[in-house]
Amino acid sequence: MNRFVAAERALRTAAPHQLLDAIRTVLIDQYGAEDVELFMADYGLTVLQPVSMLPHTMEPVSVHNSPVGRAFGSQKPYREETRDGRARLHLPVSVRGDRLGVLSVTLPTNDVARKWEAELAEIADVLGHEVIVAERDTDVYLQARRKDRLTLAAEMQWQLLPGRSCSRAEYDLGAQLEPAYAIFGDNFDWSATADHLMLYVTNGMGEGIEASLLTNLAINALRNARRAGISIADQAALADQAVFAHYQGRCYLSVLMFDFDLVTGRASVVDAGSPHLLRLRGGCVERVAFDAQLPLGMFEETDYVAQDFHVEPGDRLVFVSDGVHAVASPKGEAYGDAALARAIHATRLLPAAEVPRAILRELTGHRGRSLPDDDALVVCLDWRGRPSGR
């Protein structure tokens, strides 16, 4: 049996909580590895947490200034030479663009590391898929992601999200929520088919459990309608009815909904009291405004109308909630479109998955303190479109 097949089989047959043990054993036996560690990105995307059984003896490593973090940020293998002549390969663990963590493999020499780098990178990809499947049956990897304890509201919100990034030939998506360990009601969701991408950006109202319950109801109502195959205008109407039926207008939420055609770049949009959208095109950042309609659940049986929108190859769309746009500095100055435009320009060379966190770091500097008063949501969509002939 060749080495790669042995590694793949070991992962597929391992108990969900024993993926690291299984891959460590096969990499030692088949590739001569001397040490194997798995790091998971924490919810705040600030550190990479080691996956290990208790007692936890390894310290987290920084996403921003460590060899492990370099592989995570670049999404490319990074080879580190140690002082004793060994080599440590840091391999991104990702699933369809969703960055989960890094597999670090220590090998006896740099030559051995070069020889097996490509194959070990493929094994790290297989590991990523197995981690996603294993999370249905074990909390080991979800526990490893948390640097601090999540509030109950944040636990509910993170379980509701599709992921934090996604990649296809036509687009790249990245998103992040802050405060990561105490978010309330802001949310994002996406779903793709062969020819369409549906994207939802939600700016929830309220705080704590109540805000999370409201967002959970609305997002699941939208998903239920979407999976029935109906248009986004009707999705909005059905979700509006579900929220109003429960809250009778006492609580409601804003959402910006897109249905992108991957072939043409044309989109149908429903702006229900939306979050803000800025577009970077040809080096110029501009605010994109739609005809605002009523938030979901404000009144009974609201009708929604879809508007037309067009995105071009090379466009970058950045969506932000009020917790970004309206944040005040110590002097009372709102962050606003001008500061956002500067932040979008400053991050134009970063991949979509890195942009939300970079903008949120900039926002922290503007706010002048680490803890926000409101949820802050940033979603970045880089559009390439479908090449002709595909």
Write the pLDDT tens digit of every residue in 140-160: 999 999 999 999 999 999 999
Mean pLDDT value across residues 114-127: 96
**pLDDT tops 60 at residue 27:** yes
Q: What pLDDT, on the 0 to 100 scale, is given for residue 370?
A: 61
Strands (E), 179-218: 187-192, 196-203
Rounded CA gap, 254 and 148, in Å?
A: 29
Instruction: Summarize pLDDT for 216-231 with one digit per residue, the tens.
Output: 999 999 999 999 999 9
Mean pLDDT value across residues 23-36: 95
Q: What pLDDT, on the 0 to 100 scale, is given for residue 84?
A: 84
Mean pLDDT value across residues 123-149: 95
The CA–CA distances, whole Å, from 122 to 31, 91, 234 equal 14, 9, 42
Give percent of the chain above pLDDT 90: 81
What is the pTM for the complete model shown?
A: 0.93
The CA–CA distances, whole Å, from 229 to 12, 26, 224, 233 equal 34, 45, 9, 12
Assess contact for 292 and 275: CB atoms under 8 A: no
Assess contact for 257 and 239: CB atoms under 8 A: no
Q: What pLDDT, on the 0 to 100 scale, is given for residue 333?
A: 74
Instruction: Summarize pLDDT for 246-262 with one digit per residue, the tens.
Output: 999 999 999 999 999 99
Mean pLDDT value across residues 75-95: 93
**pLDDT tops 70 at residue 389:** no
Confidence band for 298, pLDDT divided at 50, 70 and 90? very high
Rounded CA gap, 205 and 217, in Å?
A: 13
Any bridge partners for residue 360, and if so which?
none
Confidence band for 58, pLDDT divided at 50, 70 and 90? confident
Angle, CA 132 vertex, CA 126 and CA 135 arms, to 5°? 135
Higher pLDDT, 331 or 138: 138
**pLDDT tops 60 at residue 198:** yes
Residue 28's identity, in one-letter code, is I
Q: What pLDDT, on the 0 to 100 scale, is given for residue 337?
A: 81
Two tokens, residue 317? 């769309």
Instruction: Determine which of 116-125, 298-307, 373-382 has the lowest per-residue pLDDT on average.
Output: 373-382
Mean pLDDT value across residues 46-74: 86
Confidence band for 53, pLDDT divided at 50, 70 and 90? low
At a CB cut-off of 8 Å and minimum separation 6, what does 84 contact? Answer: none
Q: What pLDDT, on the 0 to 100 scale, is given for residue 344?
A: 95
Q: Which residue has the tokens 């909904």?
A: 257
Torsion of CA 154, 156, 160, 164, to 10 degrees: 20
Confidence band for 54, pLDDT divided at 50, 70 and 90? low
At a CB cut-off of 8 Å and minimum separation 6, what does 132 contact? Answer: 95, 100
The CA–CA distances, whole Å, from 161 to 101, 200, 208, 263, 297 equal 17, 11, 17, 26, 21
Q: Which residue has the tokens 């956002």?
A: 340
Rounded CA gap, 78 and 348, in Å?
A: 23
Rounded CA gap, 342 and 201, in Å?
A: 22
**pLDDT tops 80 at residue 183:** yes
Q: Is 194 exposed, middle or buried (0-12, 13-18, 19+ CB in 10 A)?
A: exposed
Confidence band for 378, pLDDT divided at 50, 70 and 90? very high
